[in-house]
């Protein structure tokens, strides 16, 4: 099993620089991307063959009453 963890520091910019070609070349079983700085609806990237789990960076606060 091949696992890749990559801090892309902005997926839109990374895609413009050839990320999808590199993604295909690496051919990992599991791909974890950090710092994507976007939501799924903002991307037209095709990750066919992979289950996708997107978690956009947002601020959440929980306060006790």
Q: Count other C-beta atoms under 10 Å from residue 6's C-beta.
A: 18
Q: How far apart are CA 65 and CA 48, in angstroms?
A: 45
Residue range(s) defining the domain that contains residue 39: 1-65
Q: Is the dihedral of CA 16, 21, 22, 23 positive or negative?
A: positive
Q: Which of these, 32, 24, 25, 27, lies nearest to 4 by C-alpha position?
A: 32
- The reported pLDDT for the residue numbered 39 is 86
**More confident: 51 or 57:** 51
What distance in Å separates the CA atoms of residue 13 and residue 17, rounded to the nearest whole number?
7
What is the domain count for the chain? 1
pLDDT tens by residue, 23-50: 999 999 999 999 888 888 988 889 999 9
């Amino acid at each position: 099993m091949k696992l890749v963890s990559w801090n892309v520091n902005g997926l839109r910019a990374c895609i413009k620089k050839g990320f999808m070609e590199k993604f295909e070349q690496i051919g990992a079983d599991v791909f974890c991307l950090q710092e994507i700085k976007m939501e799924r609806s903002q991307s037209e990237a095709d990750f066919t063959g992979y289950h996708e789990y997107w978690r956009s960076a947002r601020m959440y606060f929980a306060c006790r009453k």
